[in-house]
C-alpha cells in the first residue's frame, strides 16, 4: 500500500480533509521553529526535499526560517529512486534530479524533508543516497504527516501532524506547487 496517493492535476481526492491550507502552513511554521531551536540557529543547515512533494515543503520551510532568522538557508532536492528496495516490483518510477547546493553536505546539519512517513523505506533509501553524496555532521528528518506503520527503526525529528491510520487507509497530500491546492485527505 503506498504511503500516499498522488492525485492527477485538477482532480480532487475523495476522503475526509485532515489538514487544510491553513493547517499545513501552521505546521510548516512550527517545523521551521523546531529546526532552528534544535540547530541553535541556521548555521550549517541544509534542507533536502525528497521528490516529489518533499521538495516544495523544504522550500516553504526554508522561507519560514528566512523570515525568522533573516538569512537564506541552503535548500536542495534528493532523488532516491535508484536506492529503493522495491524497484523490481515497481520499476516504472521516474527518476528525478538530485540538486545539492555548491557547499555540499559535508559537515552540515542535513534535514531531509518528506511529505508522508509510512513504512520508512523511502527514508532508508534517502540515507543510502545521502551517504553517496558526502558525510553530514547530523541528519534529521522533517515530515508533514506521520501515519505510523514503520517497517524500519526510523522516526521523524519534526512532524507536522501525527495521523494514526489503518494500513488499508490512503493518505493523499496535495500541494499548490504540484496539485494547485494544499490539503491532506484520508480515505
Structural domain of 180? 16-84+96-186
pTM of the model: 0.90
Q: Where are the alpha helices (DSSP H) in 70-152?
A: 121-133
Read off the C-alpha cell for 149: 506503520
Number of domains in the chain: 1
> For residue 2, is it within any domain?
no
Q: Which helix (H) or strand (E) holds 120?
A: none
> For residue 177, is it within any domain?
yes
- Residue 113 pLDDT > 50, yes or no? yes
Domain of residue 22, CATH code = 3.40.50.2020
Q: What is the pLDDT of residues 127-159, one digit of tens each?
A: 999 999 999 999 999 999 999 999 999 999 999
Closest CA relative to residue 107, chosen from 129, 134, 144, 77:
134
- Higher pLDDT: 56 or 7? It is 56
- The pLDDT score that the predictor gives to residue 143 is 98
The CA distances from residue 143 to 80, 101, 157, in Å, are: 16, 21, 8
- The pLDDT score that the predictor gives to residue 3 is 46
Would strands 74-78 and 45-50 be described as parallel, antiparallel, or unpaired?
parallel
- Higher pLDDT: 95 or 99? It is 99
**Mean pLDDT, residues 24-42 taken together:** 98
Amino acid at each position: 500500500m503506498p504511503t500516499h496517493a498522488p492525485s492527477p492535476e485538477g482532480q480532487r481526492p475523495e476522503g475526509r480533509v485532515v489538514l487544510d491550507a491553513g493547517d499545513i502552513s501552521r505546521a510548516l511554521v512550527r517545523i521551521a521553529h523546531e529546526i532552528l531551536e534544535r540547530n541553535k540557529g541556521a548555521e550549517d543547515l541544509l534542507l533536502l526535499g525528497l521528490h516529489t512533494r518533499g521538495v516544495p515543503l523544504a522550500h516553504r520551510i526554508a522561507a519560514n526560517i528566512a523570515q525568522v532568522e533573516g538569512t537564506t538557508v541552503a535548500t536542495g532536492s534528493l532523488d532516491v529512486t535508484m536506492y529503493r528496495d522495491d524497484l523490481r516490483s515497481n520499476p516504472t518510477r521516474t527518476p528525478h534530479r538530485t540538486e545539492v547546493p555548491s557547499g555540499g553536505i559535508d559537515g552540515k546539519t542535513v534535514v531531509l524533508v518528506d511529505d508522508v512517513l509510512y513504512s520508512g523505506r523511502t527514508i532508508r533509501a534517502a540515507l543510502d543516497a545521502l551517504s553517496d553524496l558526502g558525510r553530514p555532521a547530523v541528519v534529521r528528518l522533517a515530515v508533514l504527516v506521520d501515519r505510523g506503520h514503520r517497517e524500519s527503526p526510523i522516526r521523524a525529528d519534526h512532524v507536522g501532524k501525527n495521523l494514526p491510520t489503518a494500513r488499508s487507509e490512503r493518505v493523499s497530500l496535495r500541494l499548490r506547487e504540484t496539485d494547485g491546492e494544499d490539503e491532506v485527505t484520508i480515505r
